[in-house]
Amino acid sequence: MPGNARGNVVARRRRMSAAEVRSLMIDAGRQSVWNAGLTLDLNDSHFDDLIRNAAVPRSSVFRIWQTKADYLVDLFETLGGASGGAGGSLFPDQVAKTEVFAGADKLIEKFEGDANTSQGRRALLEEAVRTGVASYQATIAAPSEWQTYAQMMISSPMLTDLPDGLRIADTHVQTERSTVIAQLAERYQAIFENAFGLKPRNPQVQYEHFVIAGASVVEGFAARLILAKAANQDADTATPTLENLAGQTVPFVGADGKERQWLPAAIAYLGVIDAYFEAK
């Protein structure tokens, strides 16, 4: 019986198609990047762990990818692209759910002020920024699809000396420019002009510039919050701590004269908007 059972397991593994093996290995790599960051040199023990986690025959893996570098290129190219592998789109779909103005439509519907006045539109803008940045920063600071994508973006230039490794950087550029930045720019233009009554101060400065500038502000604060949370509690003895500087709210009086709690990142984001846009 034990021998037959073992034979059945082997038979099942042999019946696994190349497409199934690839899908399971891509998912295992995706989970590795998401959880802990992928070891870029894919040392033997780490690669063996990936194969074991994927529960696929080692021989089948090397029939698909001749080298570990080939697997790494395929993994990064797949996860960085629009399809995102078996787990779905890694970043473009996620950003639509978490970007600063993801909840703006609902906020506009529930807004109790007068959106037909400049003061009312300003109050609406401020509340959208205050709540939107808080939600976006919280998403970034927690283990998320964004952290996975950010790790890949940072790592891809180091891989360009691998066989076909330049494709990784190409994929990330195409995804970031065409799928993320362009789509957000189109959405922001509609919201800023129709809901907030804003236009660019400088016609030469495009909405794409603002997308990059605004995201960099929030991501910069979030990155420092991630760093602070990852360190030992006694590592930061300054007052206030880095975690407090990046993640603690402060009082801020808005256009409606009311004081609310704002993240510093939200105040900075509002400053970027004021630098880029003015009332129509």
Tens-place pLDDT, residues 25-40: 988 888 887 665 555 5
Give the end of a domain, one of 64, 79, 111.
64
One-letter identity of residue 266: A
CA distance 171 to 85: 13
CA 15: distance to chain centroid?
37
Clarify whether residues 113 and 156 are in a common domain: yes
Q: Which residues constitute the domain of residue 46? A: 1-64
If one counts the domains in the chain, the total is 2
Tens-place pLDDT, residues 168-197: 667 667 767 777 888 899 999 999 999 999
Q: Is residue 78 part of a domain?
A: no
Clarify whether residues 47 and 170 are in a common domain: no
Tens-place pLDDT, residues 22-79: 999 988 888 887 665 555 556 667 888 899 999 999 999 999 998 887 887 788 777 6
DSSP assignment of 246-271 = HH--EEEE-TTS-EEEE-HHHHHHHH
Percent of the chain with pLDDT over 90: 49
At 11, is the pLDDT very low, low, confident or very high (cuts 50, 70, 90)? very low
Clarify whether residues 15 and 100 are in a common domain: no
Clarify whether residues 49 and 93 are in a common domain: no
| Cα-Cα-Cα-Cα dihedral sign, residues 118, 124, 127, 133 | negative
Q: Both tokens of residue 82?
A: 């629009």
Give the end of a domain, one of 64, 79, 97.
64
